[in-house]
A and B are shown apart, each in its own frame.
Chain A
């Protein structure tokens, strides 16, 4: 025994006896359970606020109507005029291109300036039922504002041409934004203009469309 004392570690002291559990009244158990379930439900509900990947890359939209000057951190825009035409004639230096619409071209004149850096913008039409119309490719890009640089210090006006059926135009909006890149910044600004069209007005304006609209480009 005496030899074992130096080699074998001493047995630990016997553990203290745990205190007898406190009696918790039943109503407090119930309240605690309800509060716990409420907290868990709130945590699960809070997950519905998490943005999806698409929503995270959504732009920051500034909305307005005709002739409103909408300012964003990258550009300012105003919608100056909306016209309709069946044919767009692009006069170039040595040639003239005619573009015929399926129904009518909606011609949107936009004025733009930039607060700090040169930038380029593009535009599209969002209809009330969620359809999205890009500018038509029948009219060459050089006649539109799509390939122009917007610079600080002065306003630049230009046109965008959309081939949109007139019966889709009720409640449609014209959106002006910087072109989306595959990888880029989040929270890019865009401006959204309400055209203020209802169904009869859109039909009446499309019915009064010009035959030929001449632009240079």
Chain B
């Protein structure tokens, strides 16, 4: 066989192989708005495929991950409420135990360097280990979860479809959940449409946006509405929780009372607010920044002893924040409970 024939056969082989890859196993491109920064997540180590995303979605909604088979990820992260636990200051888990923090809203996860309010988790892939193992959340352990999944009627086949192996590993389990969470992209709020020139702010929203850019955006940085860093926003410590935030992880005094800056996307639906859910309305939040700052050494220099807001400023900023509501995201059927 001459060299050319080998090359042609090779190409034909490649084409037919790619033709044989089922649609659900083809590597998907991670799509996001052009003007956004590059994602932090390492997609090369965990290339997206529909089969893996679908498996992650099933796992996210399945209480099999918890000790009593009652609590799923979605118990505290509901898609319709910006993937957080609405109305609960502190989230509860197995046996109605109450945790120590307000569950975070899950949005635009691919851009996050740190996870949890104190950044305890350093990579999306390993995030799920924390709630699975926490006694006040799912109260399980990863070894037993894998055993339950392996013994289940459906999961071995689904893992095989996604990863080519019926033997379930923690790596594949965690990567599947991460893949589903990576699809939580909110980029179609009124704010986004205004930025794309497809819509216009009302006068009030525009005033709120101007104030926001001046006084709030250093921490709640556009377009993700978080700088991804840890800040002390002047909340007085709750003596019953004595939560020092980032300090608990780094043990550095300069991190005392700092918590991860949450994204404000869909903030209309993610109440209550703050790491301990102490505020139930955005007006309370405005009042806090204006008059409620509990000053200490680590308070963000952008806040200092407070950001003076007139009554009009407060109404304007809240009006602007409501433009961050993205109904296409909140009611995206691809993110909700998977129906067969």
A, B bound: no
Chain A positions within 8 Å of B, measured between CB atoms, are none
Using a CB–CB cutoff of 8 Å, the interface residues on chain B facing chain A are none
